Amino acid sequence: MNDIVERSLRQWGMTGARYKLVASRENAVYEVSDARGHFALRFHRQGYRSDAQLRSELAWMAAAAEGGLSVPSPARTVGGEYLAHIDGIQVDVLTWLKGRTLDDALASCAREDRRSLLFALGREMARLHQVSDAWCPPQFFDRVHWDRDGLLGQAPLWDRFWENPELTAADRDLSERFRHAASDKLEEIGPTLEYGLVHADLVAGNVLVDGNALRLIDFDDGGFGYRLFDVATALLKLMSMADYPQLQNGLIEGYHSIRPLDVAALDLFLALRSATYVGWNITRMGEADGTARNNGFINLFRSLADKYLK
């Protein structure tokens, strides 16, 4: 891999830069440092995003950074492009943001500080939505839609959750009932829900804490969607925590300190978000932790879907 890394770095005028692999699960990401500073070199998984979708993601991040958010900013190649192709692989470079993950921060701070961290995350989420609404995307802009069809249609963005092979007969029945009930509900209330650009993956691992600053990373799954989808994504993996009610209230209050958002349908979106992970894991069952992870996703979905239907 060293050869392709070094050829890629030359595209950005970074010949001789130091680099190390820091992530390889979805995209391969290298931390790069040279005289100009620290950067993230990304090799995108093949076939996941089109060139237009990646250029759209990079343009959106650039706009968010210009709007005052702490997000990675794309760096241009020596030829002035955001995206390059090396041996058929899509490659880009982003500014490197420092900080520890919100996961780590929550694990090591007092309860009152945990709520404050979620308040801050709610503020940053609201600011991202605000800046995105004020931005005029370029004509080529193309990102996925986390809408009714993208969540519950015949070909959802993260696979057909109701066909996960580890579902029991009762689980499959629950999945089908939830899918139809949720689809009907979205058809009913969808026009009243706020819809626009969403990060779509603001889990605690994609939020960095650096002193009093929160930084949002990994826009890979970002696109158009219900704004409540962002709220549900941030909260879902915190639901098992003893102080979850305080964390949920903190995030919502933080959001409302910047802009309004109707959260009456939050239980629906928590169940919808849990369903997406049951679908997402179908093609990842063979990974080392795939089976245990799958069981956890199904158990959570079972609980939230059953609660919603009741």
**Which pTM does this prediction carry?**
0.95
Q: What is the pLDDT of residue 111?
A: 83
Beta bridge pairs of residue 198: 223
Q: What is the pLDDT of residue 295?
A: 96
What does the chain come to in residues?
Answer: 310
Checking if the pLDDT of 1 tops 80, the result is no
pLDDT tens, position by position, 188-220 = 999 999 999 999 999 999 999 999 999 999 999
Query: Contact at 8 Å (CB) between 208 and 97?
Result: yes
Region at 83 (left for phi over 0; alpha for psi -120 to 50; beta for the rest) = beta
Q: What is the pLDDT of residue 180?
A: 97
Q: What is the pLDDT of residue 261?
A: 98
Q: What is the pLDDT of residue 251?
A: 98
Query: Contact at 8 Å (CB) between 182 and 152?
Result: yes
Q: What is the pLDDT of residue 25?
A: 78
Checking if the pLDDT of 149 tops 70, the result is yes
Cα–Cα separations (whole angstroms), residue 20 to 31, 85, 222, 297:
5, 20, 26, 32
Q: Which CATH number fits domain 2-95: 3.40.50.300, 3.30.930.10, 3.30.200.20, 3.90.1300.10?
A: 3.30.200.20
Q: How do the domains of the chain map onto residue ranges?
A: 2-95, 100-309
Question: Considering the domain 100-309 in this protein, what is its CATH number?
Answer: 3.90.1200.10
Q: Any idea what the Cα angle at residue 214 is, between residues 213 and 220, rounded to 5°?
A: 150
C-alpha torsion angle, residues 29, 40, 54, 269 (rounded to 10): 70
pLDDT tens, position by position, 2-30 = 889 999 999 999 999 999 999 887 899 99
Q: Which helix (H) or strand (E) holds 173?
A: helix 169-189
Q: What percent of the chain has pLDDT over 90?
A: 92
**Interval 52-61 mean pLDDT:** 97
Output phi, psi for 169, to 5 deg.
-60, -40
Question: Strands, E, within the chain: which ranges?
Answer: 18-23, 28-34, 37-43, 84-86, 89-95, 100-101, 144-146, 195-198, 207-210, 213-216, 223-226
**What is the pLDDT confidence band of residue 73, given thresholds at 50, 70 and 90?**
very high
Domains 2-95 and 100-309 share a fold: no
- Distance CA(122)–CA(83), nearest Å, equals 31
DSSP state of 45: P
pLDDT tens, position by position, 253-294 = 999 999 999 999 999 999 999 999 999 999 999 888 889 999
Query: Which residue would you say has higher pLDDT here, 2 or 228?
Result: 228
pLDDT tens, position by position, 124-136 = 999 999 999 999 9
pLDDT tens, position by position, 158-182 = 999 999 999 999 999 999 999 999 9
Q: How many CA atoms lie within 13 A of 299 on its CB side?
A: 9
Whole-number average pLDDT of the chain: 96
